[in-house]
Amino acid sequence: MSLVDFFIDYRSGTEPMFSDPDRSRERIFQDSVELHVAERSYSLPQATLVWIYSDITARNNGKASQALRWLTDLADKHGVDLDLTVEPKGGLNRVELRRWYRRYGFTFDRRFNGFRLNKKEAVS
């Protein structure tokens, strides 16, 4: 269980969006889906999905779903707790986004006021 190994795999499975090293966590998955994952270390290895975005021309082809599935599998592989807050960035509204994240195993956590990955509740 290693946050370092999680981010090594995250970088190897994506392409950088920017050449600026300060923005190294902003990546592109399979030439179409933008991801930004940030480190959050408290007592356990934790990461936050800051955003996931696909351009309107690339929607409804399953790429964002594939990217989220890849990311949740990566977190599971490395024992990393993954969380997020639901902030629409165009496209789906807040309710639709919550429904979409729940399909991939995220559940609402009132203590955090956001969603946390809970693989036991993922729907195939």
The per-residue pLDDT for 31 is 87
In sequence order, which residues have a C-beta less than 8 Å from that of residue 123 and are 6 or more positions away?
A: 102, 103, 105
18-53 pLDDT per residue, tens: 999 888 889 999 988 999 999 876 567 888 898 888
The per-residue pLDDT for 124 is 46
Smallest Cα–Cα separation from 52: which of 101, 6, 11, 7? 101
More confidently predicted of 60 and 75: 75
62-74 pLDDT per residue, tens: 899 999 999 999 9
82-96 pLDDT per residue, tens: 988 888 877 788 888
Residue keyed to tokens 């408290």: 42
Write down all domains in the chain, each with its CATH number in brackets: 3-121 (3.40.630.30)
Smallest Cα–Cα separation from 34: which of 47, 48, 16, 20? 16
Q: Is the pLDDT of residue 60 over 90?
A: no
The per-residue pLDDT for 27 is 94
- Are the CB atoms for 63 and 54 separated by under 8 Å? yes
Q: Is the pLDDT of residue 120 over 60?
A: no
- Name residue 16's amino acid: P
Task: Read off the DSSP letter of residue 80.
Answer: -
3-state SS, residue 70: helix
Q: What is the pTM of this model?
A: 0.85
